Homo-oligomer: A and B are copies of this chain.
Amino acid sequence: MTLKRTHTCGELTAKNIGDEVILNGWVGPRRDLGGVIFIDLRDRYGVTQVVFTEEDDQLHEKAEQLRSEYVIGIKGKVITRGEGNINPKLPTGEIEIEASELVIYSEAETTPFEIKDDIKTNEDTRLKYRYLDLRRPEVQQKLMLRSKFYQSVRSFYHERDFAEVETPVLMRSTPEGARDYLVPSRVNPGKFFALPQSPQTYKQLLMVSGYDRYFQIVKCFRDEDLRADRQPEFTQIDVEMSFVDEEDIYSHHEQLMKKVFKETIGAEIDTPFPRMTYNEAMNTYGSDKPDTRFGLEFADFSEIVKDAEFKVFSGTVKNGGGVVGITVPGQGDMGRGAIDRLTDRVKEETGAGGLIYIKMQEDGPLCSVAKFLTDEIVEQMVEEAGARQGDLVLILAGPNPDVLKQLGQLRLMMGKEFNLIDESKYNFLWVTEFPLLEWDEETRRYHAMHHPFTSPKAEDVELMDSDPAKVRARAYDLVLNGNEIGGGSIRIHDQKMQSRMFELLGIGDKEAREKFGFLLDAFKYGAPPHGGIAFGVDRIVMLLTGAKSLRDVIAFPKNQKAQSMMDNSPDVVDEDQLDELHISIKKNIKDQLS
């Protein structure tokens, strides 16, 4: 028998006093006071207090059975709690339900951890019992915000006449980018599908097909070694537009962010967003995703120290490296012990060779390598750094761009350590003009920094032959508070340029034809100029909800070994299944398994 609810557990207020109502939900804390039983009844919408008096013996007896997490339906009358018992923190805090009927739908064993916020249970247990963890109000709020986020995003694109198109999950394996997840084909023995790392080629084909504006919220997959906060499957907002340049992409997506932040968390976002070239970002913040919520911009001392006797400085500059620093305000009195610990940490976490400092003391700058430098040089460095009395200048020397990245990490450490970051801010930033290529020492060839379909800037095309590393791409990232939340580019839409790009990447004609022939062919039949962007849904929702991990905003996440603790997947499968797929597990592995 089902008692059909008339209300949820989050909506009854003083206005409903006197109403007969039915509620369904989970039993929370129960209190017995002088024969009267009080329970909190909980559902996704809220909590309502229910009272079982001693008037009805049978009902009272039944209520005595109730334990935490029982699922029940109750019928009763909304009454006032009476002064002194009102809970102003709850929307339903003024009322309670005097129950006249009770149906127990499901009993419950004692849960392995309490269903409430702020629990200390370790993550493995929470992941194993994910269905219980998902009951906790703070987790529910995050996932409900995520639900709202989807619809806010989608209505944005539909209002602007973007075509929502689903692209295949079973596609071909491509050699570029991260490692593919493969899916053996039963009907095509010895052949494999791959799961998409992104629908990149499909969305470009949709432009060639004239769909003009495309978007999709889509699952993508990367079989990477899982660092601290990665998931094997992740969700992205995938977008492509025809007949556009960078400005169109920027202006549309500034409006997207404005709308979504307003509709999900009520935040007002200013547009347009500031922009910074990749070079500027690297030289100023040592990062292509700088957190601009605080300063500590870099000072470049290379010119000042290039002829210094101190070889750590002058030698570095002569070899093309840099001597750079940041000024931490008010830390000029940092003690010897603290500086030593910081130096160790910098070496360990950033890989820098050492840390040099200038303490801006009352009686003048005190430089840790003063004996190797002239006073003049130290003075010039202080000036360049804009350091004032009481400040601490931290200096690194090393090859480029490593030294910049190391100082970037040090900057973040200092920002956190000394609470320089205004956590209430949402600082968006477009980072532009990424290099087209990156040299990879290991494979001794260029890699595409974004992906092989990214267009070079027209004025840099000549450099593709003479100095490929200098070519700037029409690529951009959207950064929020130091997190890359999206990235994209204006694409190549010309078959010859695309072939040339493959060539630069060391992808031979044959391989290019084999893997991307259909895209090169498509470009032959009339391709519009086009470009796009993709946003990381998991990360944006994480930032919107203030979650600490991607796992907190994914309903059923994998752990850092790409396993689901809840259903114990991946797992071994029947030999029959593998036979049908024409594959077998390598012998050494099989021996270990059995």
Contact = CB atoms under 8 A, between A and B. Distances in A.
Q: Which of A170, A226, A493, A578 has the most CB of B within 10 A?
A: A170
Contact of A106 (B27, B192, B528, B584): B528
Contact of A583 (B24, B134, B180, B583): B583
Interface stretch (A183-191, A332-340, A364-372, A406-414): A183-191
Contact of A233 (B144, B168, B188): B168
Given A165-B555, A183-B570, 12 more contacts: A24-B528, A42-B210, A105-B527, A106-B493, A130-B205, A131-B205, A135-B209, A168-B564, A179-B577, A182-B578, A205-B556, A206-B555
Nearest to A207: B131
Contacts of A130: 205
A148 to B, nearest CB: 8
A566 interface: yes
A109 B525 CA distance: 5
Nearest to A134: B209
A243 B4 contact: yes
Contacts of A143: 163, 165, 211
B183 A182 contact: yes
Contacts of A527: 71, 105-106
Contact of A192 (B150, B556, B572): B572
Contacts of A71: 526-528
A138 interface: no
A125 interface: no
Interface stretch (A151-159, A418-426, A477-485): A151-159
Interface stretch (A323-331, A395-403, A585-593): A585-593
A202 B555 contact: yes
A570 B2 contact: no
A206 B570 contact: no
A45 B235 CA distance: 30
A184 B106 CA distance: 38
Interface string A218-239: 0101010110000011010000
Q: Which of A73, A147, A181 has the most CB of B within 10 A?
A: A147
Contacts of A73: 243
Contacts of A526: 26-27, 69-71, 106-108
Q: How many copies does the complex hold?
A: 2
Given A154-B151, A210-B135, A211-B44, A571 B173 contact: yes
Contacts of A168: 233, 556, 558, 564
A241 to B, nearest CB: 11
Nearest to A151: B158
Interface of A: 2, 4-5, 8, 24, 26-27, 42-45, 69-71, 73, 105-109, 111, 129-132, 134-135, 140, 143-144, 146-148, 150-151, 154-155, 158, 163-173, 175, 179-195, 201-202, 205-206, 208-212, 219, 221, 223, 225-226, 232-233, 235, 242-243, 245, 493-494, 518, 521-529, 554-556, 558, 561-564, 566-574, 577-586, 589-590, 592-593
A524 to B, nearest CB: 5
Contacts of A190: 572, 585, 589-590, 592-593
| Shortest beta-carbon contacts, A-B, top 4 | A172-B569, A108-B526, A134-B209, A191-B570
A183 B181 contact: yes
A24 B208 CA distance: 13
A129 to B, nearest CB: 8
Given A147-B165, A163-B143, A173-B577, A106 B523 contact: yes
A96 to B, nearest CB: 21
Nearest to A208: B131
Nearest to A213: B44
Contacts of A524: 108-109
Nearest to A201: B567
A186 B208 CA distance: 36
Contact of A525 (B111, B184, B185): B111
B221 A169 contact: yes
Contacts of A235: 166
A528 B134 CA distance: 15
Contact of A571 (B191, B521, B564, B578): B191
Q: Which of A154, A182, A564 has the most CB of B within 10 A?
A: A182
A582 B573 contact: no
A210 B43 contact: yes
Contact of A529 (B105, B172, B183, B202): B105
Given A166-B219, A189-B592, A568 B69 contact: no
